[in-house]
């Protein structure tokens, strides 16, 4: 079996400690451990004069190789083009997208530099798996350096509708770069269709059937691989998590009152202000819940240097303060808003202790919190998932209470319905969702993608 080389913006180097290794990191590490390989990417650090060569951590059979970024590269590549251009654009926020040519140049420069630093570490038989929007041009840069290996790409975010993608001045260059991969994976059918649509209608590419596309002189496979979670591990953790001190404290403090929970990075795509407004509407429309139901919103700060993220933070502080000021009582606060993360073990306990999981992004590639909430439930008394129809997860978890996060009335009604739902209906919906969560577990996602990548003929599909 050939070696695997994983390339991603962030690398879960074991030295960085377990706190950073989420489910995805664990799954990728396992894949690397099976056949040996390299995990390559950004160190997460900036330096005034970054070292020319990657820092290497050996953890046989896996090599972790990471590069620091200069302040300028970090600004233009990460804060700039990745998170102020591609991120908003891919999440349908054209109003927030900043089309700055200098950031684009920085994005290309970092991709070129990273490809040049990985190339000497590669063997001819390695299979390369690149992740996410930060690294779209990575394969074309490797190809330019003569790398003919199999290269796959998985996009963790949505891929936008053609009309939205066309607003990107560099759309053609990025699409051409995507076609330098042999396999391109998307979260949902929606994303795949948007990509096919663009390739066929804008670039005159050809759809060859069986998920094969020909464009820019290359043939590639573009398919749907919905990402999942480590289901059994999550269930086991959740069963024990009720004993966690933080979870016990929360349950004790809540007493007879009921809790709803939202857990998101502090990101405008997650629809947190809209959620707060919907919750306010819920309190107003169903006053019997005042004093007895709270929304706990966990939102660790993310990408804090990017202006749009600073703005959403102050908007939320204002909103939470307003709602608590208007509705709060001496012994009850409607919104518990926490700008910090919690260890996985504690989170699963929180999920289990909360009657309603509120996952209402305005747009999301998948949203694993939705799947984690489901997997953490007590099978004998499951809670209810209220899920945005614009999260990739809604494609699979159609037994959730699906909502339109832009419609506060709709979400307020859904929250009320979730609280009133009978145990029988809750159980029925939960069982249906658990089945789907199992069907697309993290292991299955990884195995499916890698088996397709490994089946690419030597020299690519063009050579078949
Ligand atoms: O979902 C997109 C994503 O980039 C993930 O890959 C990552 O875990 C998350 O957002 C956090 O973002 P960042 O790496 O910018 O902190």
pLDDT surpasses 60 at 19? no
**Tokens (6 digits) for 352:** 């289990």
Label residues 217-234 b or e (16+ Cβ within 10 Å = b).
ebbbbbbbbbbbbbbebb
Residue 194 in contact with residue 159, Cβ under 8 Å? Answer: yes
Of 162, 164, 144, which Cα lies nearest the Cα of 203? 162
pLDDT band at 35 (very low <50, low <70, confident <90, very high): confident
Residue 14 in contact with residue 64, Cβ under 8 Å? Answer: yes
Please list the residues that pair with 37 across neighbouring strands. 4, 62
Nearest protein Cα to ligand 1, atom 8: 10
Please list the residues that pair with 261 across neighbouring strands. 296, 357
Residue 138 in contact with residue 111, Cβ under 8 Å? Answer: yes
The superfamily (CATH) of domain 231-439 is Glycogen Phosphorylase B; (3.40.50.2000)
Between 25 and 444, residue with greater pLDDT: 444
Nearest protein Cα to ligand 1, atom 3: 156
Catalytic (active-site) positions = 156, 364
pLDDT band at 23 (very low <50, low <70, confident <90, very high): low
In this prediction, residue 17 carries a pLDDT of: 58
pLDDT surpasses 90 at 254? no
How much of the chain, in percent, has pLDDT values that exceed 90? 92
Residue 401 in contact with residue 359, Cβ under 8 Å? Answer: no
pLDDT surpasses 80 at 112? yes
In this prediction, residue 16 carries a pLDDT of: 65
For Cα atoms 187, 136, 361, give the angle at the middle one, nearest 5 degrees: 40
Query: What is d(CA 464, CA 453) in angstroms, rounded to the nearest whole number?
Result: 14
Q: Within its chain, how far is the Cα of 267 from the centroid?
A: 11
Label residues 155-188 b or e (16+ Cβ within 10 Å = b).
bbbbbbebebbeebebbeebbbbbbbbbbbbbbb
In this prediction, residue 462 carries a pLDDT of: 79
**Cα separations (Å) of 374 from 265, 293, 435?**
19, 20, 10
For Cα atoms 394, 399, 405, give the angle at the middle one, nearest 5 degrees: 45
Pocket test for ligand 1, best of 24, 187, 265 (most atoms within 8 A of CB): 265
Between 85 and 28, residue with greater pLDDT: 85
Segment among 10-14, 112-116, 174-178 with least mean pLDDT? 10-14
pLDDT band at 256 (very low <50, low <70, confident <90, very high): confident
Q: 409-463: per-residue pLDDT in tens?
A: 999 999 999 999 999 999 999 999 999 999 999 999 999 999 999 999 999 997 5
Mean pLDDT of the chain: 95
**Coil, helix or strand at residue 407:** coil
pLDDT surpasses 90 at 198? yes
Nearest protein Cα to ligand 1, atom 7: 10
Nearest protein Cα to ligand 1, atom 9: 265
pLDDT surpasses 90 at 43? yes
In this prediction, residue 20 carries a pLDDT of: 47
Cα 263 to averaged position of ligand 1 atoms, centre (Å): 15
User: Strand pairing of 218-224 and 183-186?
Assistant: parallel
Nearest protein Cα to ligand 1, atom 14: 10
Please list the residues that pair with 385 across neighbouring strands. 357
Cα 439 to averaged position of ligand 1 atoms, centre (Å): 24
**Coil, helix or strand at residue 345:** helix
> What's the average model confidence in pLDDT over 391-404?
98
**Tokens (6 digits) for 357:** 């999981």
Q: Name the most confidently modeled range: 7-16, 18-27, 96-105.
A: 96-105
In this prediction, residue 22 carries a pLDDT of: 65
> What's the average model confidence in pLDDT over 178-199?
98
- Burial (Cβ within 10 Å: 0-12, 13-18, ≥19) of residue 75: middle
> What's the average model confidence in pLDDT over 48-57?
95
Domains 4-228+443-455 and 231-439 share a fold: yes
In this prediction, residue 357 carries a pLDDT of: 98
Q: 305-332: per-residue pLDDT in tens?
A: 999 999 999 999 999 999 999 999 999 9
Q: Which residues line ligand 1 (CB under 6 A)?
A: 9-10, 132, 156-157, 265, 302-303
> What's the average model confidence in pLDDT over 87-108?
97
Pocket test for ligand 1, best of 7, 8, 10 (most atoms within 8 A of CB): 10
Of 457, 442, 31, 452, which Cα lies nearest the Cα of 222? 452
4-228+443-455 folds as Rossmann fold (3.40.50)
Between 464 and 455, residue with greater pLDDT: 455
Between 464 and 281, residue with greater pLDDT: 281
User: Strand pairing of 293-298 and 62-69?
Assistant: unpaired
- The domains of the chain are located at 4-228+443-455, 231-439
Long-range contacts of 98-103, Cβ-Cβ distance < 8 Å, separation of 24 or more:
99/168, 99/169, 101/169, 102/76, 103/75, 103/76, 103/77
Of 122, 85, 165, which Cα lies nearest the Cα of 3? 122
Residue 159 φ/ψ, nearest 5 degrees? -105, 125
Query: What is d(CA 90, CA 76) in angstroms, rounded to the nearest whole number?
Result: 18
Cα 133 to averaged position of ligand 1 atoms, centre (Å): 10
Pocket test for ligand 1, best of 302, 306, 309 (most atoms within 8 A of CB): 302
Closest ligand 1 atom to 82 CA: 15
Look up the pTM and report it. Answer: 0.96
> What's the average model confidence in pLDDT over 238-255?
91
Q: 271-285: per-residue pLDDT in tens?
A: 999 999 999 999 999
């Amino acid at each position: 079996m050939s070696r695997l080389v994983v390339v991603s913006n962030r690398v879960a180097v074991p030295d960085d400690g377990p706190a950073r290794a989420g489910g995805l990191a664990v799954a990728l590490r396992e894949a690397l451990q099976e056949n040996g390989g390299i995990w390559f990417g950004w160190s997460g650090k900036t330096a005034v004069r970054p070292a020319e060569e990657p820092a290497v951590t050996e953890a046989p059979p896996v090599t972790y190789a990471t590069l620091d970024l200069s302040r300028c590269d970090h600004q233009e590549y990460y804060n700039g083009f990745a998170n102020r251009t591609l991120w908003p654009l891919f999440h349908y926020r054209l109003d927030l997208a900043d089309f700055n040519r200098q950031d684009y140049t920085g994005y290309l420069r970092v991709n070129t530099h990273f490809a040049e630093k990985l190339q000497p570490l590669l063997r001819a038989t390695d299979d390369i798996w690149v992740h996410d929007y930060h690294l779209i041009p990575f394969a074309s840069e490797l190809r330019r350096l003569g790398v003919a290996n199999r290269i796959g790409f998985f996009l963790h975010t949505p891929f936008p509708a053609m009309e939205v993608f066309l607003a990107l001045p560099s759309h053609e260059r990025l699409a051409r770069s995507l076609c330098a991969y042999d396999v391109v994976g998307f979260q949902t059918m929606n994303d795949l269709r948007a990509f096919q649509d663009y390739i066929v209608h804008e670039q005159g590419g050809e759809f060859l059937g069986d998920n094969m596309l020909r464009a820019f002189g290359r043939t590639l496979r573009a398919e749907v691989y919905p990402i999942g979670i480590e289901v059994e591990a999550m269930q086991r953790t959740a069963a024990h998590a009720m004993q966690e001190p933080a979870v016990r404290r929360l349950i004790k403090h809540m007493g007879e009152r009921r809790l709803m929970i939202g857990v998101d990075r502090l990101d405008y795509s997650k629809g947190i202000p809209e959620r707060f407004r919907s919750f306010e509407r819920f309190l107003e429309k169903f006053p019997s819940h005042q004093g007895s139901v709270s929304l706990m919103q966990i939102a660790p700060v993310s990408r804090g240097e990017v202006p749009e993220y600073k703005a959403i933070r102050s908007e939320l502080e204002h909103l939470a303060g307003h709602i608590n000021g208007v509705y709060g009582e001496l012994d009850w606060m409607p919104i518990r808003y926490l700008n910090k993360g919690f260890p996985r073990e504690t989170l699963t306990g929180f999920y289990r202790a909360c009657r309603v999981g509120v996952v209402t992004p305005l747009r999301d590639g998948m949203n694993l919190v939705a799947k984690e909430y489901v997997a953490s439930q007590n099978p004998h008394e499951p809670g209810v998932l209220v899920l945005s129809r614009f999260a990739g997860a809604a494609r699979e978890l159609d037994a959730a209470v699906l909502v339109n996060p832009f419609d506060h009335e709709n979400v307020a009604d859904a929250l009320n319905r979730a609280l009133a739902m009978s145990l029988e209906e809750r159980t029925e919906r939960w069982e249906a969702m658990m089945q789907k969560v199992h069907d697309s577990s993290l292991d299955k996602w990884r195995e499916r993608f890698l088996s397709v990548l490994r089946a690419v003929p030597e020299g690519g599909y063009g050579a078949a």
